[in-house]
Structure 1
Amino acid sequence: MTPTYVRIIQFVVAVGVSLAAGWIGSIFTMSAISTWYAGLVKPELNPPSWVFGPVWTVLYILMGIALYLVWSKGWGHKNVQVATAIFGVQLVLNVLWSYLFFGIQAPFLAFVEIVILWIAILMTIAAFYRVSVPAAILLVPYFLWVSFAAYLNYGIYVLNP
């Protein structure tokens, strides 16, 4: 049985890693929101810019909790190691999207990348499911939001040649 203090540390680290990815992505995003992004023609269903911050914060917290649930099953299990590695890949892809879309303002490259991210999230959900069903379920809102983000990304690409 893992001591309580170890579980608390695992929880803080798992959520912290996820939130750190969001923070890194925001470095590319924040400066572009009021300048480049504000001037783009956006798809009809595009929400106001203020919605994205709170939604992403909640999603990163859910991702961190999901990671914790998998990690807490024990690092010695092969499925935990595989699931965690896949999670890491999708987290890097998540940050990369922010860089491509907002950092270098390349909606087409960002769209190609978000499709890869979408697949990586599906792979993460499947890998998490093998370890912890609740962890997999916690990633479903993330998957749905990235699906919506892909629609928005594609729309912005098409509407802003």
Structure 2
Amino acid sequence: MIGTFLQRPVVVATVGATVVMGLGGALTKLGPWYEQLRKPSWQPPGWVFPTVWTSIAALTVWSVSHGWPLLSAAGLSGTAIALFAVNGVLNVAWSGLFFSLQRPDWSLIEVVPLWASVLSLVVLMASVSPFSALLLLPYLLWVGIAAVLNRAIVRLNQPFGAEARPAV
């Protein structure tokens, strides 16, 4: 049963993307803390974020579904699973650090390995399918934009955490 499930890359990729997006969304708390942050004038409007993330999830599923037979034939399916798993954890962790823990400074550090994990996926997919790699480029670009936005928010609002609390 599980073996049959894993042979259906579109189903596995869809479940994986849905879990990552769901967990990341659950950790994204847009409350008073976030609303009070100073943000750069060039930050995209709020509706852009879920629209872009939904598109990225769909493109990722397409990339995996298209590239999976080629990854398997090249003996790279285990590598692909590991890289996508690491990427999913890093993606969710970024939301947890920035929004749930209210630590944009920590998420700025974490976004570097997140971006690198997306780049590693692009490189892996390019080794078997340039088309599958191309489908992941918007994800790489968006994480890059998020990193620059994250840096701007840190610069406009630091310090965060214990150092931001008044001395007693």
**Class of the TM-score when normalised by the shorter of the 2 chains:** 0.7 to 0.9
- What displacement does 1:76 show? 5.9
Q: Distance in 1 between matches of 2:22 and 2:82?
A: 20
- The residue that corresponds to 2:23 in the other structure is 24
8 Å contact kept, 1:107–1:156: yes
Aligned pairs (5 A) from 1:1-161: 9-29=8-28, 32-73=29-70, 75=72, 77-161=74-158
Q: Distance in 1 between matches of 2:126 and 2:65?
A: 13
Q: Distance in 2 between matches of 1:87 and 1:35?
A: 33
Tell me: CA distance 1:120–1:7, structure 2 relative to 1, closer, same or farther (3 Å). Answer: closer
Q: TM-score, normalised by structure 1?
A: 0.87
Q: Distance in 2 between matches of 1:76 and 1:83?
A: 12
What per-residue deviation string (whole Å, max 9, x for no partner) do you get for residues 16-61 of structure 1?
Answer: 21122011100010xx213221111001210111211111011111
Q: Distance in 2 between matches of 1:88 and 1:65?
A: 17
Runs of 4+ in 1 over 6 A off after TM superposition: 5-8
Q: Distance in 2 between matches of 1:24 and 1:159?
A: 28
Consecutive unaligned residues in structure 1, runs of 5 or more: none
Q: TM-score, normalised by structure 2?
A: 0.84
Q: Percent identity of the aligned residues?
A: 37
Question: What is the aligned residue count?
Answer: 155
What per-residue deviation string (whole Å, max 9, x for no partner) do you get for residues 128-147 of structure 1?
Answer: 11122111100000100110
Q: Distance in 2 between matches of 1:72 and 1:35?
A: 47
